[in-house]
Structure 1
Amino acid sequence: ALWIGLENLHELTSIPNNQQALRIELKRKGEKKPTVLLYHKFIVGSKPENYKLTIADYEGPNGYDALSYHNGAVFTIKKSLTQTPDKDKCSDRLSGGWWFKECNKANLNGRKFEYATEFKTSKALGITWHIKDKDQSYYYSYHNVEMKIRDDDFGFCTGRLKS
């Protein structure tokens, strides 16, 4: 697993007059093709802003827009020094860092489970992406996830050509 770091995410997404898009590819074990999600606006705030997430303009399968729920959330980690007591009860239980907001609808920094029995009984502990009206989606961890960042106006990357 590779995480480029919050400061790098901030630097990549805060270039003036250059909006960044986030493409997420989710794959369950055994799947050949990933589920592809696109957010045309993706910004990670600075350290003094606690790396606040700004996300908008979702494009993808119906019901899969889980990350918009986290819009405006700050990044928290287990025993974070930046959060007030009891404000975020999830980072401790989920033992990872994410833009938690009253727990989560998405957590791409969750645990990677190798066996089906492991992740079917571990609600929201794995690489989680909640699907609307499918609460059982909390129980199934994705095996592979990629987050890709690119200029939103770069037509080839987003599948849109500018004329």
Structure 2
Amino acid sequence: MTRKNFNGKRAVVVLFMSFFILICEADFLEENYLNFVGNEALGNIDVLTSVTLNRGRLKLRCSSECLKRSACSGVRIDLNSSGCLLLIGPFNTVENLVSHYRFYKRTGVLLEATTSSTQQPTITSTPPQMTEPLSTQMSIPTTENIVCSDCECVGAVTSGVYEITVNDQKTSVYCQVLYGFDWMVIFRRTIGDVLFNKVWSSYTTGFGNINGDVWLGLDNISSFTSAGWSVMRVEMEDDIGNTGYAQYGIFLVGGSATEYKLTVSQYSGNAGYDAFSYHNNMKFSTKDHDNDLSVSINCASYYGEPWWNDDCARMKFTRDNFNELGWYYWYAGSYRPLKKITMALRKP
């Protein structure tokens, strides 16, 4: 892009919008966005690729996608449809797009477009004159000074560990960007280096390694599900490479007053059996806090399986022996040993 100078200063007008824009529920189809833009005058700007994002801080995330690609010069963002285009070429025109913003990679600022649904675009060969001193302008937004309480807020564009605040406490969470959604990992066993037959207090607060085997804590999980992160997916792999998943459209964990009672339904998947339905409406149990329905034993203590136990469990996720993990009726009715288990939440 050509550098323009006006009286020794770069001329930009910056619009800093609120980060808390909720994107509509329906997924936006990538091809529809491309067709829409294709009907408008792109001038000498070419499309590098398109990005469809379901929720979160659309402007920050689209801009981050551009910054990751050396060929990307800027971003065209459609706030109405949850989509953006990563672009190549000089930005010397203003396209006739409704409710959109431009991100210039060189300057790192967001510019408000001059178009609306009733106005024709203003074609300019240079950026508009700035209306306030450069020192008062704000650069591309970041999450540095923003308190985030979930993976949507942090605007994750890649899977990894992010810091959020839950129940007034700073907490590290593993955010997965998967299947077009932001997911928060609440439970994972893939290594076998963490013991899981722990006491009540450990299960309420959480334990483990956020990059490895981890339990995020019943207090945190309850907060997430009550805030709308109510879709849960568990993905599993056994010792010979078979994989499967079970997804639940409703997964809610009550607060401490309910002893973290589980409400779960709307199963889909290929795991062979809807194991979680057996635990619906159950309170959580540990070896020192028995809430199960068994009349003869404390299942968590006897089998070493803290869980939402009914008359014990239909899944073996929390045994200390990593070789004893399993899911009821996994592939042809067996409890084949599982070597990888991940449970994660997303919004509907």
Q: Tell whether the structures are fold-level matches, with TM greater than 0.5.
A: yes
Asked if 2 retains the 8 angstrom alpha-carbon contact of 1:89 and 1:102, the reply is no
The alignment's C-alpha RMSD in Å is 2.6
Q: Secondary structure at the match of 2:265?
A: strand
Q: Report the structure, 1 or 2, having the larger helix content.
A: 1
The CA deviation at 1:37 is 1.3
Relative contact order: is structure 1 or structure 2 higher (C-alpha 8 Å, sep ≥ 6)?
A: 1
Asked if 2 retains the 8 angstrom alpha-carbon contact of 1:98 and 1:107, the reply is no
Q: How does 1:1-163 map to 2 (within 5 A)?
A: 1-15=213-227, 18=228, 20-31=230-241, 34-61=243-270, 63-80=272-289, 86=295, 89-113=298-322, 119=323, 126-131=324-329, 136-137=334-335, 140-152=336-348
Q: TM-score, normalised by structure 2?
A: 0.36
The CA deviation at 1:107 is 3.1
The verdict on how the C-alpha distance between 1:47 and 1:95 changes in structure 2, with shifts beyond 3 A counting, is same
Show CA shifts across 1:85-137 (max 9, x none): 95753111122310010011123222343xxxxx5xxxxxx322101895532
Q: Which runs of 5+ in 2 are unaligned?
A: 1-212
The verdict on how the C-alpha distance between 1:83 and 1:145 changes in structure 2, with shifts beyond 3 A counting, is closer
The CA deviation at 1:84 is 9.1
Q: Report the structure, 1 or 2, having the larger strand content.
A: 2
The verdict on how the C-alpha distance between 1:7 and 1:87 changes in structure 2, with shifts beyond 3 A counting, is farther
Q: Secondary structure at the match of 1:102?
A: coil
In 1: Cα distance, 2:285 partner to 2:275 partner = 18
The verdict on how the C-alpha distance between 1:145 and 1:55 changes in structure 2, with shifts beyond 3 A counting, is same
Identity %: 26
Asked if 2 retains the 8 angstrom alpha-carbon contact of 1:88 and 1:100, the reply is no
Higher alpha-carbon Rg: 2
Q: Which runs of 5+ in 1 are unaligned?
A: 114-118, 120-125, 153-163
The verdict on how the C-alpha distance between 1:95 and 1:51 changes in structure 2, with shifts beyond 3 A counting, is same
Asked if 1 retains the 8 angstrom alpha-carbon contact of 2:292 and 2:311, the reply is no
The CA deviation at 1:36 is 1.5
The one-letter amino acid of 1:94's match is Y
